[in-house]
Amino acid sequence: MKTILSLVLALFIALPATAQDSDTGPASASILSADTVNLKDFLWLKRPLVIFADTPADPRYVEQMAYITQRLDVLNSLDVVVITDTDPDARSDLRKMLRPRGFGLVLIGKDGVIYLRKPAPWHVREIVRTIDKLPMRQQELRERPGDS
């Protein structure tokens, strides 16, 4: 009887989490784990910013994530989705494709092109400056409504 009650309780706890997950697709989530994403899902929709580290305790990773979480609204406004990978043993598809060595920051454009690789944390201000120079971003700025 206790196991059945435990299973029912676990189901009720997991059900709201599942419902929340179904609402958040690639177009709406802003910080995701590398093991749950496919870069093709973001093509022409989002700019993936991939943060690699060998462990979540890496001081560079902690520093980078602090920069990002402080200015997440700015990154969201630029269609940036942050993807984190802190487990080299999991050998995620992103890790296999981008082959980081320790900590790394990789900015991928909406067109799927890698525009930036950095081995050290970067302030969001610097990331935004880089994004503003991308061809797709320049086009977005030219075509923005109200700029006549």
Specify the length of the chain in residues. 148
Quick check: is 17 in a domain? no
Phi-psi region at 131: left, alpha or beta (left = phi > 0; alpha = psi -120 to 50):
alpha
The pLDDT of residue 13 is 40
Return the CA Rg of the chain: 18
Q: Which long-range contacts (CB under 8 A, 24 or more apart) does 57-60 make?
A: 58/86, 58/102, 58/103, 60/103, 60/120, 60/121
SS3 83: strand
* Domain total in the chain: 1
Closest alpha carbon to 48 in 91, 97, 89: 97
Percent of the chain surpassing pLDDT 90: 74
Domain for residue 85, yes or no? Answer: yes
Burial of 43 from C-beta contacts in 10 A (0-12 / 13-18 / 19+)? middle
Assess if residue 81 is contained within a domain. Answer: yes
Asked whether the predicted pLDDT for residue 2 surpasses 70, the reply is no
User: pLDDT (tens digit, 9 = 90+) per residue, 10-57?
Assistant: 333 443 333 444 344 444 458 999 999 999 999 999 999 999 999 999
For the stretch 108-130, what's the b/e string if a residue is b when 16 or more beta carbons lie within 10 angstroms of its beta carbon? bbbeeeebbeeeebbebeebbee
Quote the domain boundaries for residue 49: 24-142
In a domain, 147, yes or no: no
Q: Look at the block and give the residue holding tokens 């920051």.
A: 105
In this predicted structure, what is the pLDDT of residue 147?
59
Of all residues in the chain, the percent with pLDDT exceeding 70 is: 78
Classify 111 in phi/psi space as left (phi over 0), alpha (psi -120 to 50) or beta.
alpha
**Residue whose token pair is 């997950």:** 21
Residue 18 domain-assigned? no
* Domain-located, residue 107: yes
In a domain? residue 7: no
Q: What is the pTM of this model?
A: 0.78
Residue 101 has pLDDT above 70, yes or no: yes
- Give the CATH number, domain containing residue 46: 3.40.30.10
Asked whether residue 60 is domain-assigned, the answer is yes
Q: For the chain, give the mean pLDDT.
A: 84
Distance between CA atoms of residues 124 and 114, nearest Å: 18
